């Protein structure tokens, strides 16, 4: 019999390994056996934790985005009256981390959007939810910056947050093929340091 604590710990380990393996091998390239072997759980036990592989994939997506949201929330809650600088610092941290990992992986959300975004309804809904949660937090930060007078007010915070998400995802894909952080730096420079700022001029 699996205790509640033991089940939770093993479930978290499965999700951690799911993030690592799906990032490295993709959804279709990762079999259940590889996931289970990595945490030494018998194949039959998988269904104690998840209904099927699609449900597992959806849970991995939510598990992956959670620390990014927590990290960004922390910066926005301690922004000392400067939400734009807090967001800039957050993305600078991501760029430094990406460089340390030698440009491998990119973003699991972006990877899965391209691989199964239109073939798995369960994972598609999970991806939409993760992107929406992330976008909403960026929107909140940009709205704070608008109220603080550092971000332009002629565009809605929502529209700018969508542009930032889309630009960042595209920059991550270019980063992978160019093996350089320059696309990420350009994205942040062009948006956070220029286009979004209150003194932007066409």
Domain ranges of the chain: 1-49, 54-195
**pLDDT tens per residue, range 49-106:** 899 999 999 999 999 999 999 999 999 998 888 999 999 999 999 999 988 887 777 8
**What does pTM read for this prediction?**
0.91
Least confident of 2-6, 186-190, 196-200: 2-6
CATH node for 1-49: 1.10.10
Asked if the model's pLDDT at residue 136 lies above 60, the reply is yes
The 3 state secondary structure assigned to the chain is CCCHHHHHHHHHHHHHHHHHHHHHHCCCCCCHHHHHHHHCCCHHHHHHHCCCHHHHHHHHHHHHHHHHHHHHHHHHHCCCCCHHHHHHHHHHHHHHHHHHCCCCCCCHHHHHHHHHCCCCHHHHHHHHHHHHHHHHHHHHHHHHHHHHCCECCCCCHHHHHHHHHHHHHHHHHHHHHHCCCHHHHHHHHHHHHHHCECCCCC
Mean pLDDT of 133-155: 97
Q: Using pLDDT thresholds of 50, 70 and 90, give the confidence band for residue 3.
A: low
CATH 2.60.40.3140 for domain 54-195, yes or no, is: no
Q: Do domains 1-49 and 54-195 have the same CATH topology?
A: no
């Amino acid at each position: 019999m699996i205790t509640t604590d033991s089940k939770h710990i093993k479930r978290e380990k499965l999700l951690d390994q799911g993030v690592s393996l799906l990032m490295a091998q993709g959804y279709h390239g990762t079999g259940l056996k590889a996931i289970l072997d990595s945490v030494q759980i018998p194949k039959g036990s998988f269904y104690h934790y998840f209904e099927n592989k699609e449900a597992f994939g959806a849970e991995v997506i939510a598990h992956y985005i959670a620390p990014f949201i927590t990290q960004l929330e922390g910066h926005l809650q301690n922004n000392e009256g400067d939400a734009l600088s807090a967001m800039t610092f957050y993305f600078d941290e991501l760029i430094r981390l990406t460089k340390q990992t030698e440009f491998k992986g990119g973003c699991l959300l972006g990877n899965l959007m391209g691989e199964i975004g239109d073939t798995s309804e369960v994972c598609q809904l999970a991806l939409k939810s993760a992107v929406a949660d992330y976008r909403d937090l960026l929107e909140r930060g940009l709205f704070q910056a608008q109220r603080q007078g550092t971000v332009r007010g002629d565009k809605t915070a929502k529209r700018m947050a969508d542009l930032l998400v889309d630009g960042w995802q595209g920059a991550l894909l270019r980063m992978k093929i160019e093996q350089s952080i320059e696309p990420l730096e350009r994205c942040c420079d062009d948006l956070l340091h220029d286009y979004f700022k209150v003194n932007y001029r066409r």
